[in-house]
């Protein structure tokens, strides 16, 4: 299908050499033929009007009309009264197309318990469009310039106030940097630390070990996994490494869901002070808590040692690609310079929309609505398992929208996952999130953020017998 341009006349790049001695008519005809033969102009595509092309090439309109007439006679162009001149359907014999690949249909699952995905259908489209319109309407002309690589001053002020109020962070706009989500924030942080002499960074195990390792390697750093227990990261084990930075999720550990205990928090800050180290806090889903007291950000305990990363990927949607970094004052300038080298800043209009959304109160309203929705889905998951697979124990449900399912003895991750897929249910194990690639005992990471309650119940019902009884490993 040819592209149908807007109602305004399309432009076409042609160049004429008036010093070559070749008649201008011949040059124009030749270049148009070549454009059609080589596929620059596709069958059915519209050409500029003779008047427009004559004006652009500084030719007489009669010369262009003669050229169009000649190419029409040769079968390259077609014209109809009251319609534009177009490339004729028989102008070029298309090469034989390779046989199309066999059609691939996306796998349709009864239920996909993928974790880390919020309810995409609940993105507040109306509020976002309102924020874009409202923010753009009052925006000064300077907003449309390149701007500060740290991000919009308005957004940084709004975020600082929000993080002080909701996360008890020691947030100040001058030490806050806007980034394109967690991945970019972590990359900027590790590159900056590497430039400052850090050679080794630690991370939680289990956790996104492979993903963190890839980002660390790109910054020239070595990654050391450190075990997590029921109180969070093992600070004693951390202190036994040569790491001078650590990546962790203290408010709701990913994926176990445990909260970093108060004593561990103090030990962690002491470790950072003793080793001149930086704590990289991933504050990824702390807004969604249910039956526990709020847990404040580590940044509020040690703003000079904690670099806190947050995003709207879980609270709004991943596609927004906006996040923030609460920087230790000693690193703010270096991080800003790294950001400027990387991309000179995130999209300004989206930053303005987010700031408008938060300052208007609509963001808080959206979060309240989502807490209620996720709480209902959480209840559906726990009730379904209690009814159909009571041998499965759930942990990590105090916040977020995923849980850790502890499978009974004799049940294997690989066996359950493989058999469940045969029943069109997507299940995911803890093993890929461990440094050794094997988790014992067997556990599943069950995401419920993007699943309606009825789908959660249907999915658990479909695989309940697999979760309750021995299932051999796939291929066993």
Does residue 199 contact residue 241 with C-beta atoms inside 8 Å?
no
Q: What is the pLDDT of residue 107?
A: 75
Angle between helices 362-388 and 125-137 (to 10 degrees): 160
Q: What is the pLDDT of residue 98?
A: 73
Confidence band, pLDDT 50/70/90 cuts, at residue 147: confident
Q: What is the pLDDT of residue 44?
A: 87
120-134 mean pLDDT: 97
Q: What is the pLDDT of residue 66?
A: 94
What pLDDT, in 10s, does the model give residues 103-112?
666 678 999 9
Could you say which of 3.40.50.720, 3.90.1150.10, 1.20.120.420, 3.40.30.10 is the CATH number of the domain covering 111-116+367-468?
3.90.1150.10
Alpha-carbon gap, residue 397 to 446, rounded angstroms: 10
447-457 mean pLDDT: 97
Confidence band, pLDDT 50/70/90 cuts, at residue 94: low
Residue 143 has pLDDT above 60, yes or no: yes
Alpha-carbon gap, residue 361 to 359, rounded angstroms: 6
- The backbone torsions φ and ψ at residue 256, rounded to the nearest 5 degrees and listed phi first, read -70, -25
Q: What is the pLDDT of residue 96?
A: 62
Alpha-carbon gap, residue 314 to 176, rounded angstroms: 20
What pLDDT, in 10s, does the model give residues 156-172?
999 999 999 999 999 99
DSSP letters spanning 281-327: EE--STT-B-SS-----GGGT-TTTEEEEEESTTTT-GGG--EEEE-
What Å distances lie between residue 172 and 101, 204, 347, CA to CA? 55, 28, 22
What pLDDT, in 10s, does the model give residues 407-448?
999 899 999 999 999 999 999 999 999 998 877 789 999 999
What pLDDT, in 10s, does the model give residues 249-271?
999 999 999 999 999 999 999 99
Alpha-carbon gap, residue 438 to 423, rounded angstroms: 24
Residue 396 has pLDDT above 50, yes or no: yes
What pLDDT, in 10s, does the model give residues 310-353?
999 999 999 999 999 999 999 999 999 999 998 888 999 999 99
Q: What is the pLDDT of residue 294?
A: 72
Question: Comparing C-alpha atoms, which of 123, 177, 167 is closest to residue 351?
Answer: 177
227-242 mean pLDDT: 97
Beta bridge partners of 444: 405, 429
CA dihedral 71, 73, 74, 75 (to 10 degrees): 90
What pLDDT, in 10s, does the model give residues 10-46?
788 898 999 998 999 999 999 999 999 988 898 889 8
115-127 mean pLDDT: 96
Confidence band, pLDDT 50/70/90 cuts, at residue 6: very low
Could you say which of 3.40.640.10, 1.10.1530.10, 3.40.50.150, 3.90.1150.10 is the CATH number of the domain covering 123-364?
3.40.640.10
Does residue 22 contact residue 31 with C-beta atoms inside 8 Å?
no
Does residue 94 contact residue 426 with C-beta atoms inside 8 Å?
no
> Three-state DSSP class for 138?
coil
Q: What is the pLDDT of residue 146?
A: 87
Residue 301 has pLDDT above 70, yes or no: yes
Residue 7 has pLDDT above 60, yes or no: no
Alpha-carbon gap, residue 194 to 188, rounded angstroms: 10
Q: What residue spans of 38-178 are helical by DSSP H?
A: 50-57, 61-73, 125-137, 153-167
Residue 207 has pLDDT above 80, yes or no: yes
Strands 425-426 vs 443-447: parallel, antiparallel or unpaired: unpaired
Residue 216 has pLDDT above 60, yes or no: yes
Q: What is the pLDDT of residue 372?
A: 95
Task: Report which DSSP code applies to 334.
Answer: H
Q: What is the pLDDT of residue 1?
A: 43
Check if 111-116+367-468 and 123-364 are the same fold: no
Does residue 312 contact residue 322 with C-beta atoms inside 8 Å?
yes
> 24-87 architecture in CATH?
Orthogonal Bundle (1.10)
Domain boundaries, the chain: 24-87, 111-116+367-468, 123-364
Residue 374 has pLDDT above 60, yes or no: yes
């Amino acid at each position: 299908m040819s592209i149908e341009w807007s109602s305004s006349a399309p432009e076409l790049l042609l160049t004429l050499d008036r010093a070559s001695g070749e008649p201008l008519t011949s040059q124009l005809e030749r270049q148009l033929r070549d454009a059609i033969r080589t596929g620059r102009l596709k069958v059915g595509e519209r050409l500029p009007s003779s008047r427009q092309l004559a004006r652009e090439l500084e030719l007489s309109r009669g010369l262009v009309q003669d050229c169009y007439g000649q190419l029409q006679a040769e079968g390259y162009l077609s014209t109809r009264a009251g319609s534009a001149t177009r490339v004729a359907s028989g102008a070029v014999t298309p090469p034989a197309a390779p046989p199309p690949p066999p059609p691939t249909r996306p796998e349709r699952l009864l239920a996909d318990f993928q974790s880390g995905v919020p309810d995409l259908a609940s993105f507040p489209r109306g509020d976002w469009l309102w924020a874009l319109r409202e923010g753009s309407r009052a925006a000064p002309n300077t907003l449309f310039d390149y701007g500060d690589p740290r991000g919009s001053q308005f957004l940084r002020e709004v975020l600082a106030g929000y993080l002080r109020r909701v996360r008890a962070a020691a947030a100040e706009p001058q030490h806050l940097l806007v980034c394109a989500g967690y991945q970019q924030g972590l990359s900027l942080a590790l590159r900056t630390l590497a430039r400052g002499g850090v050679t080794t960074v630690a991370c939680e195990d289990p956790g996104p070990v492979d993903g963190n390792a890839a980002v660390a390697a790109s910054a020239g750093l070595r990654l050391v996994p450190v075990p997590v227990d029921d109180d969070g990261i093992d600070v004693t084990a951390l202190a036994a490494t040569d790491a001078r930075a650590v990546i962790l999720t203290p408010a709701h550990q990913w994926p176990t869901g445990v909260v970093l205990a108060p004593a561990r928090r103090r030990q962690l800050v002491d470790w950072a002070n003793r080793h001149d180290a930086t704590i990289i806090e991933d504050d990824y889903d702390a807004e969604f808590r249910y039956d526990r007291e709020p847990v404040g950000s580590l940044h509020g305990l040690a703003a000079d040692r904690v670099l806190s990363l947050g995003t709207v990927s879980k609270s709004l949607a991943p596609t927004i690609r906006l996040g923030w970094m609460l920087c230790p004052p000693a690193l703010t300038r270096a991080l800003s310079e790294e950001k400027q080298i990387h991309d000179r800043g995130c999209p300004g209009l989206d930053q303005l929309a987010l700031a408008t959304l938060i300052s208007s109160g609509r963001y808080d309203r959206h979060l309240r609505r989502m807490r209620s929705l996720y709480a209902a889905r959480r209840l559906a998951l726990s009730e379904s398992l209690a009814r159909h697979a009571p041998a499965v124990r759930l942990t990590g449900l105090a916040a977020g929208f995923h849980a850790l399912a502890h499978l009974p003895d004799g049940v294997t991750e690989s066996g359950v996952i493989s058999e469940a897929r045969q029943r069109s249910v997507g299940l995911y194990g803890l093993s890929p999130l461990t440094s050794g690639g094997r988790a014992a005992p067997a556990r599943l990471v069950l995401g419920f953020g993007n699943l309606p309650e009825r789908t959660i119940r249907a999915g658990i019902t479909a695989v309940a017998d697999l979760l309750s009884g021995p299932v051999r490993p796939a291929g066993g």
